[in-house]
């Protein structure tokens, strides 16, 4: 009898998932605006829970409590907590990469593109707070499925590559002067941005735009090429080194 009960429960569970999936699809088709608003509410509620408990300890029950809904409601909008992580974190990374790719291809001068790319990253961090910061701070590989984890790692590499491409253009065109190799300089920029995960809070004294502009000013004032008439020996030496590393 015990075995029969377990088989029955397994069959019931198997049937339940397709039924919930069909209900989700039907609800989305009926009223996209209302459905989307409730999903956004759940996603927003997931952020503070993730921040308090971390990936491993976050549960559907905790997210439901934060959102002010019951557990069954969560399943009506998301198949499992992995689906919530995917929407909240992978979606934010995708938005950030898309914005960076748009900046990279807009034809602006390298210094303008570098500043714009920093704004794109900080906007994404602010819009998807705290989910993207939580991802940067922790190891999600044990929670996310392997395919999604690989996808997110690839997004992180693409983020650094896009910044590095801008740096290389700046060195090649003589707009930037630095003795650092392009990859190292790009990592300095992305590292500065990523470190905001330790202190930036939306609606604080500084907005995302303030932080991006301040960081861009700091970086560009240090690497912008000076006119030859006012450039000292150190700057001329850096220009020679920059030309060499740009070809690396």
- Chain segment 5-17, per-residue pLDDT in tens: 444 444 444 444 5
Nearest to 197 by CA among 118, 115, 141, 135: 135
Check: pTM over 0.75? Answer yes or no.
no
> pLDDT per residue over 73-102, tens digit each?
999 999 888 888 878 788 888 899 999 999
Q: What are the tokens at 74?
A: 């969560």
Q: 140-159: string of b/e by CB count within 10 Å (b at 16+)?
A: beebbeeebbeebeebbeeb
Tokens 């990279």 sit on residue:
104
pLDDT for residue 207 is more than 70: yes
> pLDDT per residue over 125-161, tens digit each?
999 888 888 888 765 555 566 777 788 788 889 999 9
- Peptide bond just before 239 cis, omega within 30 deg: no
pLDDT for residue 241 is more than 80: no
Cα distance between residue 35 and residue 46, in whole Å? 17
What is the sign of the dihedral through the CA atoms of 148, 149, 150 and 156?
Answer: positive
> pLDDT per residue over 162-205, tens digit each?
999 999 999 999 999 999 999 999 999 999 999 999 999 999 99
> What stretch(es) of the chain map to CATH 1.10.10.60?
1-78
> What stretch(es) of the chain map to CATH 1.10.357.10?
81-248
CATH superfamily of 81-248: Tetracycline Repressor, domain 2 (1.10.357.10)
| Architecture of the domain whose range is 1-78 | Orthogonal Bundle (1.10)
Q: Which H/E stretch holds residue 237?
A: helix 233-246
Strand boundaries in the chain, DSSP class E = none
Mean pLDDT over each residue of the chain, to the nearest integer = 81
Tokens 């303030």 sit on residue:
210
Listed ranges 30-39, 41-50, 217-226; the one with the highest mean pLDDT:
41-50
Q: What is the pLDDT of residue 156?
A: 87
Nearest to 123 by CA among 106, 105, 98: 98
């Amino acid at each position: 009898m015990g075995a029969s009960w377990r088989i029955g429960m397994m069959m019931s569970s198997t049937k339940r998932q397709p039924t919930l999936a069909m209900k989700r699809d039907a609800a989305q088709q009926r009223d996209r605006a209302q459905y989307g608003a409730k999903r956004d509410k759940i996603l927003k509620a997931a952020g503070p829970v993730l921040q308090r408990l971390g990936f491993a300890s976050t549960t559907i029950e905790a997210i439901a409590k934060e959102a002010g809904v019951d557990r069954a409601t969560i399943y009506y909008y998301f198949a499992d907590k992995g689906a919530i992580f995917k929407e909240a974190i992978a979606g934010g990374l995708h938005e950030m990469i898309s914005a960076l790719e748009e900046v990279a291809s807009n034809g602006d001068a390298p210094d303008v593109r570098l500043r714009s790319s920093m704004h794109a990253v900080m906007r994404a961090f602010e819009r998807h707070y705290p989910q993207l910061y939580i991802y940067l701070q922790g190891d999600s590989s044990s929670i996310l499925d392997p395919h999604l984890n690989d996808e997110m790692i690839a997004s992180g590499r693409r983020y650094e590559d896009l910044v590095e491409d801008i740096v290389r253009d700046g060195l090649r065109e003589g707009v930037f002067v630095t003795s650092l190799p392009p990859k190292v300089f790009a990592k300095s920029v992305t590292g500065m941005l990523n470190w905001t995960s330790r202190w930036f809070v939306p609606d604080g004294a500084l907005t995302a735009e303030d932080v991006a502009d301040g960081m861009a000013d700091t970086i560009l004032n240090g690497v912008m090429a000076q006119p030859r008439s006012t450039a000292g020996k150190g700057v001329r030496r850096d220009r020679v080194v920059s030309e060499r590393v740009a070809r690396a």
